[in-house]
Structure 1
C-alpha cells in the first residue's frame, strides 16, 4: 500500500514543530505522469475542487452564462457583498430567488462580511453560486427545481457523466457534499485530468475562472491570489486540503493533504509550480506565517526535497 509522504513543515522560532503529509500528482500535456508522490490512484473526494467540472456539466445541459456568472458557478466564495449580489442577480435572471437554494444557511467566510451579518443565510454559504448555477440549468431546461440535488435528477445525471468523462475514469463512489449536492469520488490522477480538460475541451469554464478569480474565491483567498500570479493558470481549492490546477499548455496537478489541513495546500501548490518552471510572483505565496504573541515567529512551508521523486 502506498502511503502519503511528508510535504510541509511547520517551523516555529527555528525549530520544526510539525509536518503535514499528503499525495501529489503532476501530469504532462500528453497525459503521462510526470510526478507521483503517495497514493494518486485510490478514490478520494475532490470536494470543491470538482466545481469546475460540475459547471462544465451545467453547460453540457444547455445552460448559457456570461463569464462572470460561470465563474460564480465554480466558486467557493467568501460571502462578500459582491458575491451575494451576484448570486441574487443570477437567480433573478431565471425568475428564481434565494428561497429556491437548497444549500444550508451559513456565515460568510470573509471575516468582515461575517461581522456585518446577524444570521446565517443560504445565499452567504460559500457554495451558493454553484447552487444558483444548478437552479439556472434546471430553469433553462424546464426541469423541477425543488429536487435539483437528487442524484436521480437529470441535471445531476448529466453532471456525473461529465465528471467521469473529464476524469477519464468511472466515479468510484457518490456521497453528499457539505453543501448538500452530490459529491463524486475519483482518483487524484483523475482530478488532475479534470483540470487538463478545463484547458482543453472545456475551455470556457477555465477562461471564466481566470477572468474573474475574485468571484471564484474572495479577498485574500488562495485562488484569488494564485491565478493572477501565474499567467494562464486555472486553479481551485477543495475542503480537506485539496488543491488542483492546470497551466495553459496542459500540464496539470492535484494535491491532497492527508489530515485535511488547508494551510498546507498552498505551499505545496507553489512548490509544484516552481518544480514545473512556471513564471510568476510566487514568493509571497510560498510560505504562510506562524504567529506567537500576535507576531510572526515562523512559517508553514514546503519541506525541502519534498517534491523529489
Structure 2
C-alpha cells in the first residue's frame, strides 16, 4: 500500500484540516496505472455503482429509452423533470409512487425544494428514485414480484450482484443496505475503476448502452449545477458518477479510468482530487467545474480558501 492521498483544507492561507483517501487509475486493459493509498480494501461504492446496477437491469430484460436509462443511473436533484421521469416510468409499468422502496425526501435542488416544501417529502423526489423506478420497471416487464424488489434475495438483485462481480472481476463478499434501501455490494477501488473502463470500451451490449445513455443525458444523472452534469457536458466522452461517503469514479473514452475514496466520507474533497487527476491526464476540466471545487471553503458566505491536493501526489 502506498501513502494515502492528502487533500488539504486551506482557509485564509492556513491549512485548517486534511482529508485522507485513496485513488487508483487503471489503463484501458484494466491494469493499475497509478495508485495512492489502499486501493484493494473493499469499500461501499455508494451511488458510483449505479451504472453497474443498470447493466444488471438490462441483462435481466429491462426495456426503456436512453433518457430513462440515464435517470436510472442517476443521483438526481429532484427537479421537476427528474420527478416526472421517475413517475412516468412507474406509470407505464402499471405502478404508483407508493411502490418505491426509497425513503421520502425533499429535492436536493434548492429552488425545487422551496417550490414543494409545503407539500412535504415524497419518494419520487429522493435522489435514487430513478434507479428504483427502473428496478420496478424491470420486475414488472420480466414478471417478477415488485413488493420485495429491494430485498437481497430477490431475483433482480441476484442478477445485479452477479453483474457487479463480472464487471469488477471480483468476488462480492460483503453486502450492505444503501441509503436508498437497495442492496449495496462492497469491492475495491481497483474493481470500480476497472468496471467503468469496461463500460466505455464495450463494443455494444448493455455495458456500452449504459455508458452512452449516461454521457448523452448528463442532466438526468445529476441535475442543474452538479459536478457530474458539468463534467460530462464539458469533457467529450467522459463517463462520471459520484457517490456518498467521498466516492467518485470516471472513465475516459479510451478506457482509462479513475476511482477514489475519501476516508472520512467528506464529499467536498472529491472534486478537487478528481480535477487534479484529470489535469494529470492532460485534460482541462473547465472553469465551471473548477468553480464548484472552490466553493467549498466559505467565510461569511464568500470563498475564503480552497481545497487542494497536497503537493507530490503525481510526482
Coarse TM-score class (shorter-chain normalised): over 0.9
Local SS of the residue matching 1:305: coil
Equivalent in the alignment of 1:306: 313
- Comparing 285-294 with 151-160, greater Cα deviation is found at 285-294
Deviations 1:126-172 (A, max 9, x none): 10000000000001101100010111111011100000000011112
What is the deviation of 1:283? 6.9
What is the deviation of 1:200? 2.6
Equivalent in the alignment of 2:198: 197
What is the deviation of 1:306? 2.5
- Structure 1: gaps spanning 5 or more residues: none
**Structure with greater helix share of residues:** 2
Equivalent in the alignment of 1:160: 161
What is the deviation of 1:302? 2.2
What is the deviation of 1:280? 4.7
Equivalent in the alignment of 1:61: 60
Local SS of the residue matching 1:25: strand
Write the distance in 2 (CA, Å) between the matches of 1:96 and 1:221.
30
What is the deviation of 1:91? 1.1
Local SS of the residue matching 2:53: helix
What is the deviation of 1:301? 2.2
- Comparing 253-262 with 89-98, greater Cα deviation is found at 89-98
Runs of 4+, deviation exceeding 4 Å: none
**Could you tell me whether the CA contact under 8 Å between 2:248 and 2:261 is conserved in 1?**
yes
- Comparing 183-192 with 107-116, greater Cα deviation is found at 107-116
Number of aligned positions between the proteins: 307
**Could you tell me whether the CA contact under 8 Å between 1:6 and 1:19 is conserved in 2?**
no
Residue 108 (1) aligns with residue 107 (2): yes
Write the distance in 1 (CA, Å) between the matches of 2:156 and 2:31.
32
Local SS of the residue matching 2:153: coil
Equivalent in the alignment of 1:237: 242
Equivalent in the alignment of 2:136: 135
Local SS of the residue matching 2:185: strand
User: Over aligned residues, Cα RMSD in angstroms?
Assistant: 1.4
**Could you tell me whether the CA contact under 8 Å between 1:4 and 1:22 is conserved in 2?**
no
Write the distance in 2 (CA, Å) between the matches of 1:149 and 1:278.
39
Residue 96 (1) aligns with residue 98 (2): no
Deviations 1:19-57 (A, max 9, x none): 111000000112211111000001100000000000000
Equivalent in the alignment of 1:263: 268
Write the distance in 2 (CA, Å) between the matches of 1:295 and 1:271.
23
**Could you tell me whether the CA contact under 8 Å between 2:231 and 2:289 is conserved in 1?**
no
Equivalent in the alignment of 2:183: 182
Equivalent in the alignment of 1:146: 147
Residue 295 (1) aligns with residue 315 (2): no
**Could you tell me whether the CA contact under 8 Å between 2:80 and 2:112 is conserved in 1?**
yes
What is the deviation of 1:284? 4.3
Equivalent in the alignment of 1:33: 32
Normalization by structure 2: what TM-score?
0.94
What is the deviation of 1:3? 7.2
Deviations 1:89-120 (A, max 9, x none): 11111111111111111111111111122211
**Could you tell me whether the CA contact under 8 Å between 1:240 and 1:261 is conserved in 2?**
yes
Normalization by structure 1: what TM-score?
0.96
Deviations 1:4-28 (A, max 9, x none): 6242111111222111110000001
What is the deviation of 1:229? 1.5
Local SS of the residue matching 1:250: coil
